[in-house]
């Protein structure tokens, strides 16, 4: 098993982090919208608790992922167009930004609401800001706005991956799949075509 990424493929650490965070993103996003529509009651609190705990998990994994990304080389982008490569770079930067900003805004929002965050009941996070009703409203708007930014970024990310796979027919999507590296290595001439 290759832990580190290389020029033509992703290592198992990045692949695992990518898919775990992807699954968590979808889960936390869905819980977020679901709990928002629930009336104030036990069920809402239970879902809020899960939302916060999983959101903080994303924050931790995002930090790990960024540190790991800075440590290892990144595979080359496969797109032929400079503009597409730039768009991909910006999209990825945006995704990293929301991976940090979204949980952080939620954590701050909880602090401003004097509603400290317990992570799976294991430990309680310190408050990032002092309780403040106005700040809470602002942060709630930020958190809500970021949820739409995430929808757009993830939607574009998925669409781009599918475009690479079905239209460009390159290894962009395959090389992020659990067993994708071998296939990439098996056909290196094609992968190098656009580099």
Partner 1 sequence: MSEKLKNILAASVMASIVGFAGSGQAADEWIVDAEDSEIEFTGTQLGAEFEGEFKAFNATIAFSPDDLAGSSVRVVIDIASVDTQNGDRDSQIVSSEWFDAGQWPTAQFVTKSFSEIEPGKYQAVADLTIRDVTREVTLPFDLEIEGNKAEAKGEVTIKRTDFGVGQGQWSDTAQVGDDVTIEIEIEADRK
In the complex, the smallest distance separating the C-beta of residue 19 from partner 1, rounded to whole angstroms, is 28
Query: With CB under 8 A as the contact rule, which of the stretches 26-34, 40-48, 76-84, 168-176 interacts with partner 1?
Result: 40-48
Pick one of 8, 12, 16, 132: the residue that binds partner 1 (CB under 8 A).
132
Biggest alpha carbon–alpha carbon distance for the chain: 59
Show the tokens assigned to 109: 């929002």
Using an 8 Å Cβ cutoff, are 180 and 165 in contact?
Answer: no
187 binds partner 1 (CB under 8 A): no
Phi, psi dihedral angles at 105 (to 5 degrees): -65, -35
**For the residues of 137-163, what is the DSSP string, one character each?**
HHHHHHHHHHHHHHHHHHHHHHHHHHI
Distance, in Å, from the CA atom of 152 to the CA atom of 173, rounded to the nearest integer, reads 19
138 binds partner 1 (CB under 8 A): no
Q: How far is the CB of 131 from partner 1 (least distance, A)?
A: 4
Nearest-10 crossing angle of helices 42-71, 12-37: 160
Which of 176, 179, 155, 182 minimizes the C-alpha distance to 78?
176
- The terminus-to-terminus CA distance of the chain in angstroms comes to 25
Q: Under rule CB under 8 A, how many of the chain's residues touch partner 1?
A: 21
114 binds partner 1 (CB under 8 A): yes
Q: Which of 8, 20, 96, 116 binds partner 1 (CB under 8 A)?
A: 116
Residues between 167 and 186 that touch partner 1 (CB under 8 A): none
Least Å from the CB of residue 42 to partner 1: 5
Q: For partner 1, which is the closer residue by CB, 79 or 110?
A: 110
- Smallest gap, in angstroms, from Cβ of residue 30 to partner 1? 19
Rank residues 109 and 154 by Cβ distance to partner 1 and give the closer one: 109
- C-alpha distances in Å from residue 20, one per residue of 1, 17, 134: 18, 5, 35
Query: Is position 118 an interface residue for partner 1 (rule: CB under 8 A)?
Result: yes
Cβ-based nearer residue to partner 1, 114 or 141: 114
Residues that bind partner 1 (CB under 8 A): 40-42, 45-46, 48-49, 52, 113-118, 121, 124-125, 131-133, 136
């Amino acid at each position: 098993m290759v832990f580190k990424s290389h020029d033509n493929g992703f290592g198992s650490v990045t692949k695992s982090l990518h898919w775990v965070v992807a699954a968590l993103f979808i889960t936390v996003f869905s819980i977020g919208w679901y709990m928002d529509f629930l009336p104030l009651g036990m069920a809402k609190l239970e879902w809020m608790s899960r939302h916060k705990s999983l959101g903080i998990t994303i924050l931790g994994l995002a930090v790990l992922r960024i540190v790991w990304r800075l440590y290892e080389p990144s595979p080359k982008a496969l797109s032929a167009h400079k503009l597409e490569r730039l768009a991909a770079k910006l999209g990825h930067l945006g995704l990293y930004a929301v991976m940090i900003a979204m949980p952080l805004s939620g954590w701050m929002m909880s602090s401003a609401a004097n509603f400290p965050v317990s992570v799976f009941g294991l430990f309680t996070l310190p408050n990032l800001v002092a309780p403040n009703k106005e700040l809470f409203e602002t942060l709630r708007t930020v958190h809500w706005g970021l949820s739409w930014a995430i929808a757009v970024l993830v939607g574009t990310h998925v669409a781009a991956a599918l475009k690479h796979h079905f239209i460009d027919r390159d290894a962009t999507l395959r090389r992020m799949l659990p067993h994708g590296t071998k296939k990439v290595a098996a056909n290196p001439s094609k992968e190098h075509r656009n580099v």
